[in-house]
Structure 1
Amino acid sequence: MSPHHVDLEVDGLKIKIAIDRGGTFTDCLGIVEGREDDIVVKLLSQDPQNYEDAPIEGIRRILEQATGKPYPRDEKLNISGFSEFSIRMGTTVATNALLERKGERVALVITKGFADSLRIGNQSRPDLFALKIVRPDVLYQDVVEIDERVTIEDYQQNPFRDDDKIAAALETDPDLVKGLSGEVIRILKKIDEDQVREDLQRLYDQGYRSIAVCLVHSYTFQDHELAIQRIAREIGFPQVSLSSQLLPMIKMTSRGISCTADAYLTPVIKRYVEGFREGFSDGLQSENSRCEFMQSDGGLVSYDKFSGLRAILSGPAGGVVGHARTSFDPADPTPVIGFDMGGTSTDVSRYDGKLEHVFENTTAGVTIVAPQLDINTVAAGGGSILFWRHGLFVVGPDSAGAHPGPACYRKGGPLTITDANLFLGRLLPEYFPKIFGPNENEALDVEITRKKFAELARQINEETGQNKSAEDVALGFIDVANESMAKPIRKVTAQLIGDGIPPDRIDYEVYLNLRYKGTDNLLMILEPASGDFTSEFLTQHKREFGFNKPGRPILCEDIRVRGIGKSLSIPTEAPQAELKSIATTAISTDRQDDETIVYFANGGHLKTPVFFLGSLTAGSKIAGPAMIIDATQTIVVEPSATATILSKHVVLHVPSASNKDSEGADAIDPIRLSIFGHRFMSIAEQMGRTFQKTSVSTNIKERLDFSCALFSPDGKLVANAPHVPVHLGSMEYAVRYQHETMGPSLKPGDVICSNHPLAGGTHLPDITIITPIWDDAGKEIIFYVASRGHHAEIGGTHPGSMPSDSKMLYEEGAQTMGFKIVSNGVFDEERVRQFLVDEPASYPHCSGTRTYNDNVSDLIAAISANQKGASLIAALVDEYTLPEVHKYMRGIASTSETAVRHYLKTLAASRGGPSSSGAPLTFTDHMDDGTPITLAITIDAATGSALFDFTGTGRETFNCLNAPIAIAHSAIIYALRCLIGVSIPLNQGCLAPITVRIPEHTLLNPSAAAAVCAGNPITSQRITDVVLGAFAACAASQGCCNILSFGTGGRDPVTGEVIPGFGVGETICGGSGAGPGWVGESGVHVHMTNTRITDPEVLELRYPVVLRQFALRRGSGGKGEWDGGDGVVREMEFRMRVSASMLSERRVFRPYGMAGGGAGEAGLNLYVRKEKGPDGVVRERIVNIGGKMELDVQPGERIIIHTPGGGAWGAAVDKE
């Protein structure tokens, strides 16, 4: 019967359908009024031979089961007979379009001077140790620059800000307007609508139908974007995405990228929705039908309002809402963790009664800024490939995908987690459909997994001398994968805005944003049950920072009220109450439906009963080992675990496993070694997140110029997070120095502050905070943790504390060999003021810090990061015991040493040198002043040891380019990690095979009084180029960080008066070097730094500048078979008199090419002065200021920085 003729018994039926359209499968759930059982349909998301659209097909099948009537595939679905027909869908359509780059053709409309700003992004590279830098391409194909400009009239860092004067000017100056967010805006250049129309018409004529519009400061001044939208609509553009309407938040770059994503994806979403609606005879527009889509923020939206920007996490968001509904019990407010393991990745989320949101997330290489549920994704899933590398079990991030898929798919794929589960008996092939093999008609292949794991076990045993079975190896990889997937579970933390919801369904939460007077370290305090905000603040401050400030007033910065709307009064389906009340019955193996053999860690191969879930009733309790299966899942119950069957849940009780059993005093298990590698790295990463979260300065919070690491009891590097490479090896020197000099005087509750080059510092702005971690008795130091952050202002001769003309160390600001910043749990603010203010100001022509409050806040943030590390290490020791933790700490260092020795042995063998008598690898490069950096690397082919000899390097210089000896070690450890090319733990073991020889009083080992501020960011880059040049690994990158510092204020050198002011600096990207088989990347930070660039809007909001241009310097990369990357042009106009410092290299000697490739272009720094001529007319004069210069810049003058390009690889060939 045709569905156009609905039977009377169907008429009036109510049906609700929920759909999860994933990348591989589409799951559909039908809830029919009056029907006891729900209808579940699972089908392939893509099956063009059988149906065009999986959700339509799923709905068709549900309707047939619900009504007992046929709904032919070749006819539209007629739902007119239903009194209520509701569809809710989560879909990966937007995600897949991003992954496959199959979105709409988009043009970007942006402010003049910023055509490349979204391509450059924040200038950081995604993989810190990849010489071949690969960044995702932009989503737009063409750019139109609009000649318009507005800026902020005053700036936040102005100590003489006069709000009354600005308010008066608003009344008289027609170019001043009040922005939406309260700032006063100056219109520097109004939009030319005729030119805009001409430019947009050209785009339309070229076939563009979707444009993204992002203008500087449009988050607060929308007029120009709205004018462009009006003109575009008049021309006929169907899709116009405005950044000011999608996301009216400061930060132009992230707002622009998000706006482009919306323009790229929304047409795709609209086409999909229209195609879906066409599957229904009424187009889902009748009164009885309702169709909603899940958005990334966990909210539902009508199909006609579903857009690309809000759709990217549509599928995973539904999972979060689902586990929140089905697993959280308000009566038992224990947070629940959602764990969604797919083929290539795993999504982890946490729910504690509130949906938590983040506003930035990266999907398919595109960083989207929009409200999104806080979902943490790790690249470990069923298809993750298994590797044995340098003594470690490694899982992923590479995935076998759907084709060829895991080895057991019979298509020649690699070993994966799925293979490990199959081989161990945790998957039963007889209960899987026969859809594998070339003809998709065979079962899963157990034999190939058995063969491959046996081969891998033989390799592992030969290399380690152990006797692991193939089953041990397979189970080991599962353990490592579990540890990898546990990392996001450890870091997740527990926003839902109601709109048009009745007051009786709205709850409110009150927060106070509190801080101590005199600091900027804010804590958002939720109103406690007692209502005592002060007590709660003191508790949280002690936990977060490790100390309190007795007697210091507590201030409230702002008040936040959150309204939570409950869209539906759905009773909870959480299992807790039923689990407590249900009477359980133990199920014996006599009730089993089948039996199989499964391999378990404790017990080996065990007979394991198999139960069909459908045959078990609520209250059934099954003791492990067991397997519970149904049509869509396989549940493995471990031998020590139990499974309780509830009406809608299966609850597993897994006793806490003891990790305190050691295999012996010296035995190192490679599986546990891999797990400890994850744990140590995770601690450093969580320290970094705490540092960023609690800091206040642009340098640390926005530019991420910091590093965190943990160290052994004697100060050796154990693990560091992938932050700033120049800190990698050098922080160990700082910790070891304090351990040797202050160790005997340290007590629990002490924290050390240091920054002097002789105490392991790199340059003075990098201040290191070191915290010893004690055993339970407080008698013995068991670890150290340290956090190093770059403070943009610490005093000295010039604002920004990076003077290009410094010759003595004291000219560069505050310095200390080390002092206790916290002593016995008390923060020593008097000593901090001496360090930052009084002592630097005591030197000739020098000032104390110009930003004392910011400095103190960032120092406290570093202490907080260390406190976080200390608590995590304590938990690790409690879990495994201290001897076990220390054993694997040493084991990981040994693993890193083995990897480096293996690389050096292999390299020596490839060069034909049987021993250290072979010719050394040599390379020399020159600083712009002619000072040579010379390196000879002699490798012992038998042991894998190497001597890095810098004899021949020039003497220390009477300028700021000298590099403390720790920096060369950082460059070496970084270069070796890049050359090895696989992920290994970075620790002292990497340098164990290396002997470094640097003569005293040279550029790389200067005397105590030598100025060093440029040695850390600039000379370090040149050392790295020399090391990589000796290995002939790739062409030179830009070899510089291009540092521009500026500011005002400080101590007047004549009167001694301290004038309020500020200091700020930024590093600027350039071109990376090409290599064998790859081109260099353009506009990216390279090698020893990876800090972000300040967003144009943030820069202008805080400082008296207008950023006129930030673009690629096209053609500046070297030419060859593989071209070098291009540098950039950054042009800054100053709106008030400032002291500016330019500090750069590669302005004389160009970045070298390799293997016959051409050199990159040298950098160029220009100063656009305003000079009055003899005729009294003020004209611009453009002068080259060289690589290093101090300037007294006047209002309206500009500095234009052209950064170097990267060198090319290989002689140029005819590319036609």
Structure 2
Amino acid sequence: MTDVDTVTFEVVAAALQSAAEEMGNVLKRSSYSPIIRDMDDFSCALFTADGELVAQADYIPAQLGAMSLVVKAIIERWANRITPGDAFISNHPFMGAMHLPDVNVICPIFLGERLIAWAGTAAHHIDVGGVNPGSEGPELEDIFGEGLVLPPVRLAVAGVENDDLIAVVTENIRDPRSTVSDLRAQRAACALGEERVAELASSYGTEAVLAVMSGMLDSVEDGVKTALRGLPDAEAEAKGFLDDDGRGGPPTRIHVKVTKRGDRLAIDLSGCDRQVSGAMNVPWASSRAGIVYAVRAVVAPDLGANDGLLRAVDIEAPLGIVLNPEPPAAVSVRHNTCQRFADTLIRAMGVMWPEKSVASSTVSFFCFNVGSVSPLTGHPSVMADVVGGGTGATAYGDGIDGVDTYMSNVGVMPTEVVETNYSVRVLKTEFIPGSQGRGRFNGGLGLRREYQIINTPQRVTFYCEQTHPDFVPRGADGGGDARPTTVTVIGPDGREIAGLADKASLTLQPGTIVRVETAGGGGYGDPRERPLEARLFDERNERL
């Protein structure tokens, strides 16, 4: 491998990272669906020729550490049949992807006849077929009910879009115009990544660019190991619970054991419950991403995110547990489990290294999918919205109000976008006073949002976590716990519809209101030690 001087290394590494971020700008500005362009539910990245992630734009941490598994699945499946101009698509949860709506479009980067790298995107598509609009359902029992399953296949062949595949896709989804438009936006982002890598190779030489990619992986590995050597050897366990299994069953246990020795970290997940009958299971790509997120957040937050990070981590995850299920387990609602997993990992590391402990953030992750009708065109449309909550307080300050926490980074859909594109009215979006845990530093506030179904009956799926009072966001170092999440459905007659689960798929009549009130974050430290100025601020702004 070519030796590269320090200045060249830093310039090229920064240019590769910038290229990934520029790819994100192209995808965001070119996409058709609000969940991508307005809510930022996508990621863009560059990879080595053998599929190692080297640079990724920080949009959705849930996709950190996951996309490279799709690239490797493409390489394994297609091997020597990959040609310039090809574009591959996959959403298969048991071939490296996450859940079916997160569609990966991956393109090889050739210089002449030589494959030197890959450009990739993952974006949440509004619908990929299946039983429910939005292709999610906590009650579903296998991936075949969740939508169209795509192993790594060619979306384009030698630069020409694969019409046969497009025909298959469009006949199996509810909003084909959105899906095809978004797929083309993903290809455009990959084309930009290919162009930027080719420019760097032209300026610095192909071998130098490849050497920088390898060095970026080594640098992150060395940085994680250095950070680990600076921490005391320790081990700890932590457990957390999901409210149920997605189908009204008993709580699902997430258990982690973390051990640090020298410059290595071992994470044992064998204490988790077995895979469940509902759609709360987490395919390995998403569990891997959870480990990348937690290790980066606690051990080495200043480092870049690439596959070098996992070189210092040993993982035990038996096949068949909820965090590594066997096919064809349903996985569409896996992100709620991912959030609980991230929270549990971070709490375990907080026990190991108390100076790094934080209060728990909400893992409620309320999602609201609607098979609707566009008021502009009268055509069928599918809506997907996400409502966050409060982050946990730390030893340095209060939590953040009303955000999507941990592994997610999705913005709530603007009211104007909801009401322009769907037969849904947003009646209310506001912070909830008192939803947070109190402490020397308080947790962030949860959110209240109300949706009203209008004009026509509509099929709705919603789900969330932490409605069980035993599983609310916990305080740290003497801080208080947050309130649980609640979901209320009010019929057209103004009366609450009793007996509904907090995870459900059902048809709602016009005039029906769905109200969610999400948990805030836990508090940190003794509430009696909260500074007077902060208490007065809370009172003036009616936060308690």
**Which residue in the other structure is 2:481 paired with?**
1159
**Which residue in the other structure is 1:961 paired with?**
280
**Which residue in the other structure is 1:933 paired with?**
254
CA distance 1:1146–1:1092, shift in 2 (3 Å): same
**Which residue in the other structure is 1:1141 paired with?**
461
Contact 2:47 2:54 (C-alpha < 8 Å) held by counterparts: yes
**Which residue in the other structure is 2:51 paired with?**
715
Residue of structure 2 aligned with 1:1020, choices 333, 338, 349: 338
Residue type of the alignment partner of 2:364: C
Q: Does 1:700 align with 2:22?
A: no
Contact 2:259 2:266 (C-alpha < 8 Å) held by counterparts: yes
Task: Output aligned runs, 1:790-1189, within 5 Å.
Answer: 790-837=124-171, 848-908=172-232, 913=233, 919-929=234-244, 930-941=251-262, 944-980=263-299, 982-1015=301-334, 1017-1032=335-350, 1033-1048=357-372, 1061-1135=380-454, 1136-1148=456-468, 1149-1170=471-492, 1178-1183=493-498, 1185-1189=500-504
Shift of 1:980: 4.1
Contact 2:467 2:502 (C-alpha < 8 Å) held by counterparts: yes
- Identical pairs, percent: 29
Residue type of the alignment partner of 2:480: G
**Which residue in the other structure is 1:1205 paired with?**
520
Q: Deviations over 1:350-372 (max 9, x none)?
A: xxxxxxxxxxxxxxxxxxxxxxx
Contact 2:272 2:322 (C-alpha < 8 Å) held by counterparts: yes
CA distance 1:698–1:1001, shift in 2 (3 Å): same
**Which residue in the other structure is 2:24 paired with?**
688
Shift of 1:899: 1.2
CA distance in structure 2 between the aligned counterparts of 1:1192 and 1:701, rounded to whole angstroms? 28
Contact 2:130 2:147 (C-alpha < 8 Å) held by counterparts: yes
Which secondary structure does the structure 2 equivalent of 1:768 belong to? strand
CA distance in structure 1 between the aligned counterparts of 2:109 and 2:72, rounded to whole angstroms? 14
Contact 1:795 1:836 (C-alpha < 8 Å) held by counterparts: no
Instruction: Return the index of the structure with the highest Cα Rg.
Output: 1
**Which residue in the other structure is 2:539 paired with?**
none
Contact 2:366 2:387 (C-alpha < 8 Å) held by counterparts: yes
Shift of 1:888: 1.2
Shift of 1:1073: 0.7
Residue type of the alignment partner of 2:464: S
Task: Output aligned runs, 1:38-77, within 5 Å.
Answer: none
CA distance in structure 1 between the aligned counterparts of 2:395 and 2:300, rounded to whole angstroms? 14
Residue type of the alignment partner of 1:797: V
**Which residue in the other structure is 1:94 paired with?**
none
Which secondary structure does the structure 1 equivalent of 2:230 belong to? helix
Residue type of the alignment partner of 1:1023: F
Unaligned runs of 5+ in 1: 1-664, 838-847, 914-918, 1050-1058, 1171-1177
Which secondary structure does the structure 2 equivalent of 1:1180 belong to? coil
CA distance in structure 1 between the aligned counterparts of 2:19 and 2:458, rounded to whole angstroms? 41
Q: Deviations over 1:476-528 (max 9, x none)?
A: xxxxxxxxxxxxxxxxxxxxxxxxxxxxxxxxxxxxxxxxxxxxxxxxxxxxx
Contact 2:73 2:152 (C-alpha < 8 Å) held by counterparts: no
Contact 1:754 1:818 (C-alpha < 8 Å) held by counterparts: yes
Contact 1:1166 1:1184 (C-alpha < 8 Å) held by counterparts: no
Residue type of the alignment partner of 2:496: R
Shift of 1:1003: 0.5
Task: Output aligned runs, 1:141-290, within 5 Å.
Answer: none
Q: Relative contact order: is structure 1 or structure 2 higher (C-alpha 8 Å, sep ≥ 6)? A: 2
Q: Deviations over 1:302-339 (max 9, x none)?
A: xxxxxxxxxxxxxxxxxxxxxxxxxxxxxxxxxxxxxx
Residue type of the alignment partner of 2:237: T
CA distance in structure 2 between the aligned counterparts of 1:679 and 1:1048, rounded to whole angstroms? 42
Contact 1:728 1:974 (C-alpha < 8 Å) held by counterparts: yes
CA distance in structure 2 between the aligned counterparts of 1:671 and 1:1127, rounded to whole angstroms? 46
Which secondary structure does the structure 2 equivalent of 1:784 belong to? strand
CA distance in structure 1 between the aligned counterparts of 2:39 and 2:494, rounded to whole angstroms? 36
Residue type of the alignment partner of 2:390: G
Moved segments of 4+, more than 6 Å: none
**Which residue in the other structure is 2:541 paired with?**
none
**Which residue in the other structure is 1:75 paired with?**
none
CA distance in structure 1 between the aligned counterparts of 2:328 and 2:170, rounded to whole angstroms? 19
CA distance 1:940–1:981, shift in 2 (3 Å): closer
CA distance in structure 2 between the aligned counterparts of 1:1201 and 1:1186, rounded to whole angstroms? 13
Shift of 1:1002: 0.7
TM-score normalized by structure 2? 0.91
Contact 2:223 2:300 (C-alpha < 8 Å) held by counterparts: no
TM-score normalized by structure 1? 0.41
Shift of 1:1205: 1.1
Shift of 1:1155: 1.9
Contact 1:850 1:1060 (C-alpha < 8 Å) held by counterparts: no
Aligned length in residues: 512
Shift of 1:1039: 0.9
Q: Which moved more, 1:1146-1155 or 1:707-716?
A: 1146-1155
Contact 1:1157 1:1212 (C-alpha < 8 Å) held by counterparts: yes
CA distance in structure 2 between the aligned counterparts of 1:1128 and 1:1183, rounded to whole angstroms? 22
Which secondary structure does the structure 2 equivalent of 1:934 belong to? strand
Shift of 1:666: 5.6
**Which residue in the other structure is 1:626 paired with?**
none
**Which residue in the other structure is 2:93 paired with?**
757
Residue type of the alignment partner of 1:766: D
Residue of structure 1 aligned with 2:5, choices 669, 681, 699: 669
Contact 1:1165 1:1185 (C-alpha < 8 Å) held by counterparts: no
Contact 2:381 2:421 (C-alpha < 8 Å) held by counterparts: no
Contact 1:668 1:891 (C-alpha < 8 Å) held by counterparts: no
Shift of 1:1179: 4.9
Contact 2:134 2:384 (C-alpha < 8 Å) held by counterparts: yes
CA distance in structure 2 between the aligned counterparts of 1:675 and 1:1081, rounded to whole angstroms? 34
Shift of 1:724: 0.7
Contact 2:3 2:208 (C-alpha < 8 Å) held by counterparts: no
Contact 2:372 2:422 (C-alpha < 8 Å) held by counterparts: no
Residue type of the alignment partner of 2:477: A
CA distance 1:1180–1:713, shift in 2 (3 Å): same
**Which residue in the other structure is 1:340 paired with?**
none
Contact 2:12 2:200 (C-alpha < 8 Å) held by counterparts: no
CA distance 1:1063–1:928, shift in 2 (3 Å): same
Unaligned runs of 5+ in 2: 245-250, 351-356, 533-544
CA distance in structure 2 between the aligned counterparts of 1:740 and 1:830, rounded to whole angstroms? 23
Shift of 1:759: 1.4
Shift of 1:960: 0.8
Residue type of the alignment partner of 1:931: T
Shift of 1:672: 2.7
Shift of 1:1158: 1.6
